[in-house]
Amino acid sequence: MKLIHLIPILVLLASCGISPEAQVPEEVENQPAQPYNLAMRNGLPKTLPPGVKVNYYSGSVLEKRIALTFDDGPHPVNTPRLLDILRAHSVPATFFVIGNRVDQYPNIARRIVREGHEIGNHTYTHANLSKLGDAGVRSELVRGRDAILRATGLYPTLFRPPYAALKTHQRYNIKAEFGYPIVFWNVDPLDWKRPGPSVVADRLVKGTRNGSILLVHDLHASSVDAIPETITRLKAQGYEFVTVSQLINRAAMLQKRAAVEPAL
Ligand SMILES: [Zn+2]
């Protein structure tokens, strides 16, 4: 094909706002997460260059900062009770909510945000995404995001896959299309087996290290019952509670500084 034949195609591409030479952002991993439509407008690639950080299991080991995360709510009784506990202890947390439960209990989702906690996308139906095709995964994330947006007026900026089940290419697609860091955890007390509040608290406290992300489910009364003791003991050990975004953005900043500062 001669150049003269390409010109109308290039003009068409330019008029659609699609550059034939779209630039790949250099440091996608250190940018704050963006809502889906903003990420698309900024031309984030569907596949990311190698070395981009997608999965987060913890924050920096250099600081006594940790994040409490609560999955699978909102629950009509246990989530408000948990919010009362967090407020009494002045502790921020991160809630990975299920979209169809947010549609059922939008007031609780609003309260989560109003009281300074962070809210993350945990799909619409708690589907096992590793068993779905790309269109199914996208639908779960879009519907989860839209439920949060309808209830709170905010786009979620984090994502946690149900059952931690997500194939590698799905992780990259989600990070690229939605801008979400994929957030896992490194302390799991298996509270969903309901071993009792004191056992849950003990497992959480004993598993915690600098930068830990703690996994709890606010669906269960016994899990919520474990939280006052957990907070009291971890605060006594000098840990500071932050949201996941605070934890991982700070970790990225420290990594960057360590990379540029000469060793003493
Ligand atoms: Zn879950």
In a domain, 7, yes or no: no
| pLDDT, tens only, 153-196 | 999 999 999 999 999 889 988 988 998 999 999 999 999 999 99
In a domain, 19, yes or no: no
CATH code for the domain in which residue 206 is found: 3.20.20.370
Token code pair at residue 71: 């999955």
Higher per-residue confidence, 26 vs 148: 148
Burial of 32 (0-12, 13-18, 19+ CB in 10 A): exposed
In a domain, 215, yes or no: yes
In three-state form (DSSP H/G/I as H, E/B as E, the rest C), the secondary structure along 178-191 is: HCCCEECCCECCCH
With a pLDDT cut of 70, the percent of the chain lying above it is 75
Helix (H, G, I), strand (E, B) or coil at 133: coil
Structural domains of the chain, count: 1
What is the Å distance from ligand 1's center to 255 Cα? 29
In a domain, 32, yes or no: no
Per-residue confidence band for 70, with pLDDT thresholds at 50, 70 and 90:
very high
What is the Å distance from ligand 1's center to 216 Cα? 10
pLDDT higher than threshold 80 for residue 223: yes
What is the Å distance from ligand 1's center to 61 Cα? 26
pLDDT higher than threshold 50 for residue 45: no
Give the domain extent around 120: 56-260
**Beta strands 182-183; 118-121: pairing state:** unpaired
In a domain, 78, yes or no: yes
What is the Å distance from ligand 1's center to 1 Cα? 53
In a domain, 30, yes or no: no
* Active site residue ranges: 71, 217
Give the pLDDT confidence score for residue 38 in this predicted structure. 39
